[in-house]
Amino acid sequence: MSDARAHTRFLAYRALSIRAYVPFLLVFLQGRGLTLSAVFDLNVVFILASMAAEIPAGLFADRQGRTRSMVLAGLTMTLASALFIVGRGFLWFAAANALCALSMALSTAADSTWLYESTDGARDEHRYQRLEGYANAAKSLGNVVAIALAGIVFSLSTAAPFVLSGALTLLSAVVANTLPETPHEPRRRGIFQDLRRAASTVAHDGRLLLAMSFAAVTFTLLQLTLFTDAAHLPLHVRGTNPGEMALALGALASAKELLTALSAASSGALFARVRAAVVVGAISVATMTLFFVMGAAGDVACVATMLGAAGLFGLFQPLARKLVHSAIQRSSERATLFSIESAGRKVLFALASALFGRAAESASLHQALRATGVLAVLAYAILAMGAAGWLRVLRRRPQKKDPLLSYL
């Protein structure tokens, strides 16, 4: 199979690997007899299962192959959709949520790694960056189309979005099965040896640790802006009934996905012209600024900033993958290291969202946003000091060639 055809199929895989039912999940579960508190308990199940599944999924992708992991991810999400359809109690839906978390972990560990290795990203970085941006754009556009279709069929049956999601993810598994496996170093050690070596790599590689830390902090902050939409938009769009507000939230979500797709698609051209350090700095400053603007009282500015966060997210996703891929030296542990990075993101986001929710309850949403802005400044200042210290170490040891100098 030609590289062009394989990469076109990979874009299709990304576009099909979606959960079209998410906007309708609350109504569906309440219709099946779950209370609001039980629905939120399912979110806890999802977060715990995600953290538990990430690293085993990375080990699986490194040992069994990237394409096999992607195929299993699609099949697992199809099974989760089926459990939602037939489920009649909390335990059924908890099992479905756990399978969703496993599917996403398998895909996270394998898909970006497959793209990096199939494009020989270490040698042709610009090509990888361009295709990674297109792949993120394909996923966002797939979300927009799938959610629109799910909204149409939801009026016919509350279970129909799950049927649609299951069919699409089953198709994603079929597409993934047609992709050629990428060449990578085979694993010959035991699982615990692999895990210990990967943990040691993260602990001792300053460049990789900085890349992972930047990704975790920025992901958490940008996800918090999405997390607050349902509570934030009603403060700035007044005089609407619940139905109209639901439509406004749907329109905002669709606009965000489109902006994310556009910025992701253009990220490859941007990264080819601008140094990574400049892009990292710009995204960091813009992310900090978001929270101070969203913490203000201005209606138009806040709504515009909600959309701006989506544009930043589109740039951030391929940038974070580029940073981590460039810092990984051994392909034999690439997927495992990516799963460690993903687990770190989720742990930080889980802690931050819990603290943010309590801060918003005890004070106000706008005060919580401003306080988060201050914490973002501190977090990025610490990362900047860490990067400066690492560069000083490298300059004192010029005999040790490290690509970080040319990379920055």
CATH of the domain at 366: 1.20.1250.20
Q: Is residue 190 part of a domain?
A: no
pTM of the model: 0.79
Domain check: are 247 and 341 in the same one? yes
**Angle, alpha carbons 137-141-144 (nearest 5°):** 145
Q: Is residue 68 part of a domain?
A: yes
Domain check: are 121 and 225 in the same one? no
Domain check: are 174 and 206 in the same one? no
Domain check: are 7 and 138 in the same one? yes
Structural domain containing residue 133: 1-178
Rounded Cα–Cα distance for residues 313 and 123 (Å): 26
Is 401 in a helix, a strand, or coil?
Answer: coil
Rounded Cα–Cα distance for residues 42 and 87 (Å): 13
- Tell me which long-range contacts 192-201 makes (C-beta under 8 A, separation of at least 24): 194/59, 194/62, 194/63, 194/333, 194/336, 195/55, 195/59, 195/336, 197/333, 198/58, 198/333, 198/336, 198/337, 198/340, 199/340, 201/330, 201/333, 201/337
Domain check: are 39 and 171 in the same one? yes
| Cβ atoms 334, 65 nearer than 8 A | no
Torsion sign (Cα): 43, 44, 45, 51 = positive
- For tokens 């299993």, the residue is 72
Q: How many domains does the chain have?
A: 2
Q: Is residue 194 part of a domain?
A: no
Q: Is residue 196 part of a domain?
A: no
The size of the chain, in residues, is 408
Torsion sign (Cα): 327, 17, 80, 63 = negative
Determine the pLDDT at residue 173. Answer: 94
Q: Which of 162, 178, 194 is the last residue of a domain?
A: 178
| Cβ atoms 115, 131 nearer than 8 A | yes
Mean pLDDT of successive 10-residue stretches along the chain, which has 408 residues: 84 89 81 81 85 88 89 95 91 94 89 86 77 88 84 82 92 93 66 77 82 92 82 73 68 81 85 84 93 80 83 89 84 83 86 82 84 93 84 58 43
Domain check: are 162 and 16 in the same one? yes
Rounded Cα–Cα distance for residues 13 and 179 (Å): 10
Determine the pLDDT at residue 205. Answer: 79
Determine the pLDDT at residue 283. Answer: 94
Determine the pLDDT at residue 184. Answer: 60
| Cβ atoms 97, 45 nearer than 8 A | yes
Domain check: are 95 and 210 in the same one? no
Rounded Cα–Cα distance for residues 42 and 48 (Å): 10
Q: Is residue 374 part of a domain?
A: yes
Q: Which of 178, 211, 230 is the last residue of a domain?
A: 178
Q: Is residue 171 part of a domain?
A: yes
- For tokens 């943010």, the residue is 356
Domain check: are 111 and 240 in the same one? no
> Which of 403, 318, 358 minimizes the C-alpha distance to 139?
318
Q: Is residue 293 part of a domain?
A: yes
Q: Is residue 22 part of a domain?
A: yes
Determine the pLDDT at residue 403. Answer: 44
Domain check: are 249 and 393 in the same one? yes
Determine the pLDDT at residue 406. Answer: 41
Torsion sign (Cα): 117, 181, 109, 104 = positive
What letter does residue 297 receive in the DSSP assignment? Answer: -
| Cβ atoms 340, 202 nearer than 8 A | yes
* Residue 295 backbone dihedrals phi, psi, to 5 degrees: -80, -5
Domain check: are 117 and 219 in the same one? no
Residue 370: left if φ>0, alpha if ψ -120 to 50, beta else—which one?
alpha
Q: Which of 178, 212, 245 is the last residue of a domain?
A: 178
Domain check: are 56 and 12 in the same one? yes
Residue 71, C-beta contacts closer than 8 angstroms, at least 6 positions apart = 173, 176, 177
Domain check: are 171 and 243 in the same one? no
